[in-house]
Structure 1
Amino acid sequence: MNATAPKPSRESADFPLPSGPDELALRVLREHVASVYAAYNASVFVHFGLGAALGTAMYVHQPRTWILVWMAVHLSLGLFLFLMPRWHPGVPLADTTRWARRHSRTVTAVGVGMASAPLLFISPDDLPVTSVVTVVIIGSCARAMQLLWPLKPALYGYTLPMMLSLIAVLAWQGDAMHFFLAIFSLGYLLFTLRVGNQQHRLLTDSLVLRFENEALAGQLGRQIAVAERASAEKTRFLATASHDLRQPLHAIALFGAALENELREHHGGRNARQLMRAVNALGNSLDTMLDVSRLDAGVVTPTVVPVPLDALLRSLNHMFAARAEQRQLQLRVQASGLWVRSDPQLLFRMLSNLVDNALKYTARGGVAVRARARGDMVWIEVFDTGIGIAPEQQERVFEEYYQVHNPGRDRTQGLGIGLSIVQRLSRLLGHPVQLKSRPGRGSRFRLRLPASAADEATTPSAGLATPFAAGAMPDPVRTVRTPLATRGRILLIDDEAEVREAMTGFFQAHSLAVETAADEAEAAELLARPETREHPFALLVCDYRLADGDNGLDVGQRLQRRFDLQAPLLLVTGETSPERLQRVRASGVPVLFKPVSAATLLGVLAELIPQAETETAH
């Protein structure tokens, strides 16, 4: 559509258009033109059919040659109108005004031609003929009012010549009956034009409203598309930034762990411990962002079992008691003896995020956690006496990175993702979250969970005694913190030289033989060596994102098939893309997310390497 359509200028004097941009006015006029042309055939047929019927009646009543001539001219004009070009939807918008004027001039010419009927047929001494002519012309005007009111110039051009001719001829006869018919016809004309104007205005207003709504809907659609693109770009940026930050951070964590171990009895040990605390804090921040990606990707699958709330609440108390005491706050966790149906680790994550958030924004008083039975439901409520949340902010606190009273982004108050994770977990588990808060008085978050009976539990709920750390969603592998008691050769594939060096140092520090490769070709060369048959690898460790668009999942599986490897595959990655995380989860291959702590890596090695040695022995 031409956004710079020419202004109607002179045409708008004949066709008053709604105020606003020229394009809107032309679109409204185009709808009017389309409406009158949609009934073009019917209107031409009715008009010339009435004219033919009138001429036939007049000729039967009083045979005259000039009546036949009038009928021939009249029908020729009708045939011409049937054959002449017409407007169609393919006509450019800019030509709309020209077609509106053309149609108005055409019907005006038809009206002028029909205006000759009263002059030719009405006479003072033949009242039946006068009545027939009056009925035909008024009928034609009635039909025109129904078909032509979208275009006022066409309505006026068709109606006025016929009706004014009829009124003038009737009044000219001089007798009372004809004068009465003239007055009646004048009243009918005024009424018809008034109704036509009203209908035209209503149609125009409705079209203007329709196009404005369409424009608003289009604008809204564009804004939604922009917002979706911005969200997708934000997700891609965070995924790329997170991956690129995790790579060096993973190496720093391993180098730092080795340094901390070496300086344990040295005067520099304190600095090493401070370094590792900073590295762990940065890792926790990245893990929190990873949680959002994993939840959005659907890689977290809840395992719903009967959960004893008292055991879970004791873990909460142990986790936050020291922090509350340090801030001189009271932390009260009330036992209830209730059981619920939920995933214990994910539920613990929800509650730990709520308690963590409550402690951050409470300066005096404390935080309380309690559970109450309500029919077949259980309410778990977290109360605080903190700053509270204003009504207009209560929806926004569940958005990512939004924090109340933290415009300066104080890092001690976290990233502002905790409640966003709570909302995602709420949807995943089907545990609705309700918020009630008053500024300056505190807040209450309520979770609604299905109740369960203790006798429904068939196996102990895993993870309650030592719930996973806040800041990390449960991984597809179980992080066992036990010392590595076995030895075995490990093949490491990673395209980052610093990561290979750090991982090599870590493995060798724990008496594990390791061979490294930057890509699939180097790994294949190592696996093809003769000594590899005598001393096979016990574990294949791959980074997910490798150089040249390769990924560790495909590379590792290809190597396993090609060399008939019995060694299990372990992915160690800084990848956070939801699509890639979903693919990793679907593969069933265990994965650790960078930066991996030394204890976690040791625990996973203790699980996987003995299994590999057993399988190799068979």
Structure 2
Amino acid sequence: MSLVNPNDSLERQNEKLLQIAQALMKRVEYGAEQSGAAYAQFERAALLEKRVRERTLELQRTLNLLHESNAQLSEANAQAEAARRNLADAIEAVSEGFALFDADERLVMCNTRFCMDFRDTTRDLSPGLSFDGYVARISRSAYLVLPDGETPESWSARRIRRHQNRHVMFNVQVRPGRWLQVSEHRTANGGTVVLQTDVTDLVRIERAERDRLRDKQAVMVRATLDHLNQGVGIFDDQGRLVGWNGKLGSLLTLDARRLQIGASFIGLIERLALDVEFTQGIDREGFQRWAMSRDYRAPISFEVTRGARTVLQVFGRGMPDGGFVVSVTDVTSEREAARRLFEMNEVLEQRVMERTLELEDALSAAERANASKSRFVAAASHDLLQPLSAAKLYISSLADRCQGTAEHSVLEKAESALNSAEQIIDALLDISKLDSDGTHFNVRSVMMSEILRPLSDEMSVLAERKGLELTIVDCNLIVESDPTYLRRIVQNLLGNAIRYTVQGKVLVGVRRNGGSARIEVWDTGPGIAEEDQNAIYEEFRRLDTKASSNEGLGLGLAIVERACARLGHPLGLWSEVGRGSCFMVNVPIAGHAPGTADARPRSARPVKLSHAGLIALMVENDPTLRRALSIMLESWGVNVIEAADAASALSLLDDLQLRPDVLLLDYQLGPGANGIGLYHAINDGAARPLPCAVISADRSPQLRQDCKSLGIELLAKPLDRHKLGRFLEEVAREMN
């Protein structure tokens, strides 16, 4: 039990304690002396007084702190109240309607302009109002102009959905004829600030500008319609005429008095002239059903005839607002031209067919004549070589008997003439074999040293006679070719180099060229002019007219070209007048070592192409390679259409009106053109692209990827005839 009431003030408690202390002191001084506890009571009273004094000091300090806190709290409250008044004044000074909702969607404060245009809701705008309640009151306001088909409930639901976004801005219309822009923004603590801005003047200016533009646009549309060569009619979603031009009435022979704003589409159709006949599977009723449909209208196009000759094309298309547009075009001249063109095409097709039959007969006759020529040359060469060999033996025997006489020199010249005749017959026989479709080559792995070493021994004597330096660099590469014909190719090139080189040297070597070996024959002869570099491969064509007939009749290079073409060995030439020449033959390197190679003879001509009758378009800007490829393909039974560039190829196909079976395109076709682009141009609009092979020395990954994505075969240069043959056989198999 406490002697002091704790509910008393500190002053009252202190007063009571002083009274208690005085009473105790008096009792100690004047109390009964016989009590032995007096002194003890005095000590207790002194101790109690000390504690009371300490308690009093603590209470005094606490009271001082309390006074200071109360003073600070009063000052803070005053500052908060001042800030609140300042904020309220600032909000009130804003020219827009302002409202602040807290994180719990409760109204904290708003200014007098907020919802001022909704007078029947202002009395409900008090702190604590929920956001949903605010939206509900606005939606039911008599001053809110709801959009067509909108109810207060649907408008309120749409408004609440918009409120889910952090930033919202939209316009509402209020009576009488005013517009408010409402914008919402989230605060950092999750509250919402709502602003209402009067944008009536802006909306009115915008509408005035829109009306002005609409009027100007209407004038432009009218001018445009009047200048069109087609008749145009514009109808609204109810099928009423809202716009047209004079051409419409003249084409459909409609009375001008009928073409008025609001005229019914059905009425106009019914008033069409009786001589207007609907064709192409649609009639008047079908056209009316399309025009009056409430669903999506697909574009419609058909033709009608008026009278005996006039043809009109009618086109109709629906518009987003439910209306539709009808245009009428006079296509009489176009249809008449098409009819005449069709008749001309029939006549031309008949002429082309007749000409084709004539060409086929001529081609068959030429092929028979060529086959007969080849058989005759082969038989005649065989029959001529036997008596020539006998004559040479007789002359040799007679020359041995006439040693040292004047007749010996005559016999030597006769023997030399017989040797020349034998060489010519051998050359003619080789050309006949190479031109024959039945020629087969023994293609196998060949050591280049087996070709070069015998030639070195044979040709060194001829070079020494002319005082030339002959160098043949040995090579241990293994190539894939027919050894007999490869030796004949190198022999003819080397013989030509020695024959036409007056002084200097002749060099033969082999270089690696990717997956092929390039045989090069260099000389320091007179060189070949650029304009003559294609003519040297023609039969009996010699640029050195001073050379004697004993030095050949110009068949060596013709044999070389045909053999390279049939074997698929690209033949090249570099030459400069006065410096010399270099003939180059690319031969594929074999894929395995000697002894493991397949020694079975392989035909250089794909056997499955002989009766396929393929028509190939070959575009190659190198005339030498183009000629070699043409000879090889024609020997396989492939009909070749040649072109030097992309423009020539497209023009040739357009003139022939022929679609080939396969495309063989060089990738580099000059500046700005390549095989891929030509492939796209030829197949433009075709239902199925033509099989195509691109021939290129470009080995970049990008070209490989482009060809792979288009399904095009990529054949690398130097061209592998076996790969080309397999590609053409695959095309022939797909055709059958």
Give the TM interval when normalised to the shorter protein: 0.3 to 0.5
Larger relative contact order, structure 1 or 2 (CA cutoff 8 Å, min sep 6): 1
TM-score (structure 2 length as normaliser)? 0.34
Specify which structure has the higher proportion of strand: 2
TM-score (structure 1 length as normaliser)? 0.40
Specify which structure has the higher proportion of helix: 1
